[in-house]
Amino acid sequence: MQDATSLRNIQTCARTEEPGPLAGGGPALDTHQPGDLEIQESRFLSQQDWGPQRTSEEMKRLQNVCVRLRKALSNTQADNLALGEKLRNLPSYLYEKLKEEMQAGRRK
C-alpha cells in the first residue's frame, strides 16, 4: 500500500511542473501530445536509467528516511511539550524559590 501511495506521489510530482531550474520552461507533463511521452520521459532519464529494481530500492530508502524524520519530529514535539510545561510553571517555580530564599535570609 505504501509503495502504491509513494508511486502515486512520484507520478503526481512528475506531472506537476515546478518553477525552477529543472522545470525547463516547457509545458507541464500532463498536457502531452501523442509521441511526446518519450521526449518527456527522456527529460527525466539520464544515461544511468535506474530501472525498476533501482527505483524500488530508492523508494525504500526514501521511505526509511521519512520514517526517521517522523520519529525525529515526534521526539521534537514531545520535547517541545515538556519545555512548554516547564515554561508555564516557571513563574510559580521562581516565586517559590524567591520566597524560600527570603525566608532563609530572615532566619540568619
Domain residue limits, the chain = 1-49, 51-108
DSSP 17: P
Nearest CA to 55 out of 101, 6, 106 is that of 6
Q: For the segment 72-108, what is each residue's pLDDT rounded down to a tens digit?
A: 999 999 999 999 999 999 999 999 999 999 998 888 7
Q: Write the pLDDT tens digit of every residue in 19-78.
A: 444 444 444 444 556 566 666 666 666 656 678 888 889 999 999 999 999 999 999 999
Q: Residue 18 has what DSSP assignment?
A: P
What is the model's pTM? 0.45
CB atoms inside a 10 Å sphere around CB 84: 10
Query: What distance in Å separates the CA atoms of residue 105 and residue 11, rounded to the nearest whole number?
Result: 71
Check pLDDT > 60 for residue 7: no
CB 44 within 8 A of CB 14: yes
Tell me the pLDDT tens digit for each residue of 9-22.
665 555 554 444 44
